[in-house]
Structure formats: C-alpha cells, structure tokens
Amino acid sequence: MSAVVRGPSALVPEAAAVGPRRRTPGVHLQLVVGAALVLLVVAVAVASFFWTPYDPVRAQPAVRLQPPGAQHWFGTDRFGRDVLSQVMVGARLTLYVGVVAVGIAAVVGVPVGIVAGMRRGVPGALLMRGSDVLLAFPGLLLAIILGAAFGTGTTTAMIALGIGAVPAFARVARSGTLQVMQTDYVLAARAANRSAWAIAWRHVLPNIAGMIVVQCSVHFGLAVLAEAALSFLGLGTAPPTPSWGRMLQESQQFLGVHDNLALAPGIAIAIAVLGFNLLGDGLRDVLDPRLKSVR
C-alpha cells in the first residue's frame, strides 16, 4: 500500500482543478464529514478503554457464530467472541498504528525535506535521491521485508509504514520550503544575518505546517489500510489482540454463511480510511497555501 500508494489525495490537487467552487459559506462538507467519521473512530477507541459489551478476547463456545441480534449486535465469531467488542478494541490498534507510523514519517521526513529545500546543491540532491530509492519500495512491501528480517508484529509494522512514508513527507516539506525560501521575509531574515536554524524554525516550519497536517491526515488513512492488509496476511498484529485486518481474514472460512463477520471489520476499515481521506482533502482546501493561490 505507498505504503501501498493509494491516496490520490496525496498527489492530486483535486480542489485546485475544479476551479471556482460552489461552497456553502463557512462550512466545508468534506472537512465536516471527514472530521465526523474520524471523531467516531476516536470516540469508539476511547470508549473501548472504559466499556465494551463483552470481553473481546474471551471465548464463549456456547454462543459461537451467533447472527447479529439483541444480545450481540454484530454477532459472534467462531470462538463465541463478541464481534462488536472486537471492532471497538480494534479501533484502538488502528489509531495507535496510525499515530506512530505518521509520527515517524513526519519527525524524520519533515526535517529532511526542509534541509533539502534550504541547502540546494549536493546535500539536497543526495537527500532527495535517497528518498527516490525508498520510493521504489511501496510501504506494504517495506513492512513485509522488515517483518522477514526482524519478525512480524505491530511494532515492526508501525516502524516500516513510518519509514515507507518518509519520502512523501520529505518531498512535500521540500517543495514548501523552496517556496518559502523565495519570499521577501526570508530574504529580510537572511539580510538580518539570522541563522539557517532560526529561519527554518521561525519562518519555514510555521508556513509549511498546513501542508504537513494535510499529509498527516492522508497518510493516516494509508497506514490504516496497510496495517489491515498486513494483519490480513498474518504479518501484522498477533492474536489475540483484536485487529480489523485479522478479523476479516478469519471471516473468510464463513463467507456466504456468516457475512457479518466480514462486513463488521470491513465497514470499520472503510469508515476510518474514508474519514481520514475526506479530512485530508478538506484540510488541504482550508490550509494548503499553494492551493489557495490557485483557487
């Protein structure tokens, strides 16, 4: 997945392409819907710390493979575990993986991009060629390689997905930095003999923060997809920790008979990814200065 490279939102300035937009004054629909879906996932994850209908990992053979009903809203799996409770706890893992992977990508990629943008010439070129080579490894493939080398698991997956997203963050930070470095206020700061560090911290970073936030949202969605894919392949989070991807994988043997086992985690993944994608698109419209100027 970039990660598997799936996010068109990451590359296409869709908002810019549609020209003058019909917009509801004060309300951005994508932003609102995206934020609402993300909030739903966050709320479910937080709630799962305090309450779930049943213990998500406790097997209850007496109620195995129950269809959705009053007792078990989303039904039960082959061990009699409550699917709703597993989906709730799975939201935690999804957010945890997303936060760590995106955090690694931003913490490494943004400084690399800023340095590459400020120090043009050999250092900048070297940094960007390095990120080009990494681009040849889609995030999911990188996660599989690191899983082979160091053993599979949540930690390996998070680190690999984070490293896989570094080039994307570096590229965005570099292109933003190149723009900021052309501005009059940076020229003034350089004339005032400000250090490169001060210019980066006080002028570049605040001005590219909007783009970085957009990248974070888009890559969060990609990380959710990639983690689900890894768990689906059996290369992600190990049982019994509930994971949406593994729930989907385990549902395969009951397809056509107990489709609720596939639909519950599948819809949860789609809601989370859709939420972060829409939020990213909405934030881009609101925050990205490059596109403001285009519009």
Partner 1 sequence: MRRQITWLVGQLAATLALASVLVFLVLRVLPGDSAVVALGVNATPEALAAWRAQHGTDRPLITQYGDWVGGLLRGDFGRSFVTGNDLTPLVLDRVQVTLILVGLGLVIALAIAIPLGTLAAVKHRTAWGSVIAGASQLGVAVPNFLVAVLLVAFVSVRAGWLPAGGWVPPAVSMAEFWRHVTLPAIALGTVQGAIITRYVRSAVIEVMREDFLRTARAAGHTRASALVRHGLRNAGIPIVTVVGVQVAAMLVGAVVVERVFVVPGLGSLLVDSVQQRDLQAVQSIVLVLVALVVVGNFLVDLLYTVLDPRLRTAGR
- Residue 186 or 223: which CB sits closer to partner 1? 223
Nearest Cα neighbor of 101 from 256, 190, 227 is 227
- Looking at the Cβ atoms of 140 and 199, the one nearer to partner 1 is 140
User: How many residues at the interface with partner 1, by CB under 8 A?
Assistant: 56
* Footprint on residues 259-278 left by partner 1 (CB under 8 A): 259, 262, 266, 269-271, 273-274, 277-278
Q: Does 68 contact partner 1 by CB under 8 A?
A: no
Going along 3-108, which residue ranges are E strands?
Answer: none
Tell which residue, 247, 229, 232, has the closest CA to residue 75.
Answer: 247
d(CA 81, CA 63): 8
Measure Cα distances from 202 to 112, 169, 208, 278, 284 in Å.
17, 19, 11, 30, 22
Q: Kindly state the tokens that stand for 183.
A: 């501005």
CB 223 within 8 A of CB 38: no
Q: Is 209 in the site for partner 1 (CB under 8 A)?
A: no
Which of 32, 63, 178, 233 is in the footprint of partner 1 by CB under 8 A?
233
Q: Which of residues 147-176 bind partner 1 (CB under 8 A)?
A: 147-150, 152
8 contributes a contact to partner 1 by CB under 8 A: yes
- d(CA 122, CA 223) in angstroms, rounded, equals 32
Supply the minimum distance, in Å, between the C-beta of residue 90 and partner 1.
Answer: 14
145 binds partner 1 (CB under 8 A): yes
Give the chain's radius of gyration (CA, Å): 22
228 binds partner 1 (CB under 8 A): yes
Interaction between residue 252 and partner 1 (CB under 8 A) = yes
Cβ proximity to partner 1: between 52 and 215 the closer is 215
Would you say 204 or 235 has its CB closer to partner 1?
235
Alpha carbon distance 216, 283 (integer Å)? 10
How many whole angstroms separate alpha carbon 10 and alpha carbon 102?
14
Interaction of residue 6 with partner 1, rule CB under 8 A: yes
Residue type at position 274: L
Does position 32 bind partner 1 by CB under 8 A? no
Q: Which of 98, 95, 114 is nearest to 3 (CA)?
A: 98
Positions in the binding site for partner 1 (CB under 8 A):
1-2, 4-9, 11-14, 17-19, 22, 132-133, 136-138, 140-141, 144-150, 152, 221, 225, 228-229, 232-235, 245, 248, 251-252, 255-257, 259, 262, 266, 269-271, 273-274, 277-278
